[in-house]
Structure 1
């Protein structure tokens, strides 16, 4: 399985962080004001401490091995597990940061605005990182105030996943649940839903709240924040309508608490998953779940499609991680080399070839990798062979179509506070504590105040 993307829900402010100077040319102030030379042909030494990355699967292990070869005599140490934000910011404030971090892309704006990481202008030029190869939404998410602050990798996108038998029994197709018609989707939910005397036995459709509000809003023609990352749009009528619809999907099945309790009881990663047992009609779900289903229930009655907006166009709310170099670190040149090698085309192809061989050896289907690098994605896709199964070949086709139609929310200096505001609003509605309009108006005030304050601090630091 592709590594999951962990997302922290808050960023802890640490006093004393100062902005690193902007890198220029082939040298930049990356370590206490000293000029650093980045050169893809240079021999490197010293140590490289990486925080937030682990060797949890074959793809990580293959790529890490290639990066170690490129680093030569550099002593590499990993602090595995999801990035501990408080630990990281404390390390920066204390003057003893790691050389490299592996962070969620939507944390990069905050880290950049607080001076916790450095711009990568010099790193990109010196190591020859082909930034034009990266997917535009991924690169935009790590670009703050006009400068790239991290090297993106992986792209996680949702697909429509459905039980073909439940659809057929209700006289439906996957087109009724891909989101192109909200009216058809609501009707399909009711047609597949089963609840006997208040006891839920089949979830017709799971709209995946709170995390997918950005997806539903985008499908309705808007986004939660302006493209420049400065203006919250949580009380936009289109966002309110999207939340009303997505919550209404649960209300028609006994309410969110009942649906959540039932879905949480499923053997999500095992043979008794909700598709294999016929207890879920359809849902939008991240593409990494394809591998889970192919491993544990390859013969389940499945069908896949992209998620579509209300005009019938494919969309995908993308997320992923990225490599960033902390301020005042001792070995930024090694950090830059590692980030470059881990995300370049040849490395991804080697990892994909290893993954393909492993899956074929287990009698399973290789469904590709979404790397965040468009050139690498194309090369990896070339390794995929028809499986002979319409289900899994259709899944792969949907995966790549979604990837080509992905969007992300822009970098901003208050990403954690912004996300907390809208997620709290959604949860208050799901739990029956507020109506959508009321909840989103309150969230709008909180989110905009956080954005205004964070942008003002950034601008003051730049003055």
Structure 2
């Protein structure tokens, strides 16, 4: 029987450090023996995951079947509570498996909170050859794989086609390939009424999309080996200056954010349906939201593009990892394999297609995962919708998924992200110039990286 509990998600990333656990070794201990054909038993507590929709529940059913009736699966739902997880590792009573954000994996690995999956991958015959490189990079630390990547998130440009046409604009003006064109489109699309912002011309989605704008300008926030912060790179500063200037043209970030937050983002009165947003880069999952709640909205889509006009997306997503001290690592490994294997994704997609077919006007827009083989097979299941706007959204998201980059795993992932996000927020709040903010962030991030790598190398 599956029992479900709800945990309060951890809001402050800083608590990760306060609750940080240090493992006694870096290898898969507890005499775990992984064998795809072995009969398994015992308990399997899954932290950070819930069967919230048919994509999750279909794969969960397959995983439970593969584990056999002697394994009791218990879900601890809600986002992974980092403090509780690390405290459980420190106490020697962790869950058997966790569902985590891929950006957390390097930190968890360096702290000894999770184990490398070399033996797991070999014994359960996890096919890593089908995994997308950018996703695998996020879970590879010190030349070992520490988690099995699952869903993938990418950004595409989403815009109001009516507003574009009214101003004589096209998607080429807002897809990021020409920053001067974006700035001009922003000025043309934005609206004010009675002194207040009434239409957001362009939303650059700061602070979270700084890596995307920087990469579009030819810069990475961190070196490929995850050891050197590059936050004060002139190209990063230039990208930040531009993305902030788009808000400044509209009265400042506070005005844009207040108006953005007042929107019915997940409802039929969303910004596109109400004509109060011109364009923005946004994760691909929002396409399905728009199709569900406002199928008649005049939306148009394209891939986000770098300044050379090439498609680009900043990949992120989830992953399965086995905690240090897991009481049932064999079951955890099989669970991770089945949840992410091609057959499971295809079965889940088939169920979504079936359910969408029962809904009037419902369409299937595909799935994006870290499994390239599964993505290819699932994309073949996407039928033309009969509406160019939704078909173009599908094309855009799959093109984006084929042109991704990610930040490499490192032992200070949360601290590194906090450094640059805080810097962006200081600029948005008018506290510092982009150059000053990124110079401060560079020092903070590099200090955290140096300390993290030093601690890892001493172990």
Q: TM-score range by the shorter chain?
A: over 0.9
Name the counterpart of 2:3: none
- Structure 1 regions of 5+ residues with no counterpart? 23-28
What does the per-residue CA deviation read over 1:375-431, in whole Å, with 9 as the maximum and x for residues that have no partner?
Answer: 000010111111111001100000100000011100000011100000000000001
Q: Among 52, 55, 59, which residue is 1:56 paired with?
A: 52
Which residue does 1:98 correspond to in 2? 95
- Give the one of 307, 325, 328 matched to 2:325: 328
Match for residue 69 of structure 1 among 60, 65, 68: 65
Shift of 1:19: 4.3
Q: Shift of the alpha carbon at 1:21?
A: 3.6
1:200-252: per-residue Cα shift (whole Å, max 9, x none)?
11100000000000000000001110010000000000000000000000000
Contact 1:19 1:114 survives alignment (8 Å)? no
Gap runs ≥5 in structure 2: 1-8
Name the structure 2 match of 1:36. Answer: 32
Give 1:294 shift: 0.2
Q: Deviations over 1:13-33 (max 9, x none)?
A: 4466224343xxxxxx332xx
**Match for residue 429 of structure 1?**
427
- TM (normalized to structure 2)? 0.96
Q: Give the aligned partner of residue 314 of structure 2.
A: 317
From 395, 407, 410, give the equivalent of 1:409.
Answer: 407
* Contact 1:234 1:440 survives alignment (8 Å): yes
Q: Deviation at 1:9? A: 3.1
Q: Structure 1 residues 435 and 332 mapped into 2: Cα distance closer, same or farther (>3 Å)?
A: same
Work out the CA distance in 2 between the residues paired with 1:271 and 1:197.
25
1:454 pairs with 2:452? yes
2:152 aligned to which of 151, 155, 158: 155
With over 3 angstroms needed to count, the CA separation of the structure-2 counterparts of 1:189 and 1:6, relative to structure 1, is farther
Residues 26 and 112, structure 2, Cα contact 8 Å, conserved in 1:
no
Q: Residue deviations 1:31-64, cap 9 Å, x none?
A: 2xxx211001110001101111111111101110
Aligned-CA RMSD value? 1.3
- Distance in 2 between residues matched to 1:134 and 1:16, nearest whole Å: 29
1:12 aligns with 2:17: yes
Structure 1 Cα separation of the partners of residues 148 and 26 of structure 2: 19
1:45-194 correspondence runs (5 A):
45-72=41-68, 73-194=70-191
In the alignment, what sits opposite 2:416? Answer: 418
Q: Quick one: which of 371, 374, 377 aligns to 2:375?
A: 377
Q: 194-203 vs 101-110, which deviates more?
A: 194-203
Counterparts of 1:196 and 1:288 in 2: how far apart (Å)? Answer: 31
**Residue 240 of structure 1 aligns with which residue?**
237
3-state SS in 2 of match to 1:201: strand
SS across alignment from 1:450? helix
- Encode CA deviations 1:280-335: one digit per residue, 9 max, x unaligned: 00000000001100001111111000000000000001110100000111110000
Kindly indicate whether the alpha-carbon contact (under 8 Å) linking 2:20 and 2:111 is maintained by their aligned counterparts in 1: no
Retained in 2: the 8 A contact 1:214–1:317? yes
Name the CA distance, whole Å, in 2 between partners of 1:142 and 1:250.
34
2:60 is paired with a residue whose SS is helix
TM-score scaled to structure 1, two decimals?
Answer: 0.95
Is contact 1:163-1:301 (8 Å) kept? yes
Separation in structure 2 between the aligned mates of residue 428 and residue 181 of structure 1, nearest angstrom:
26
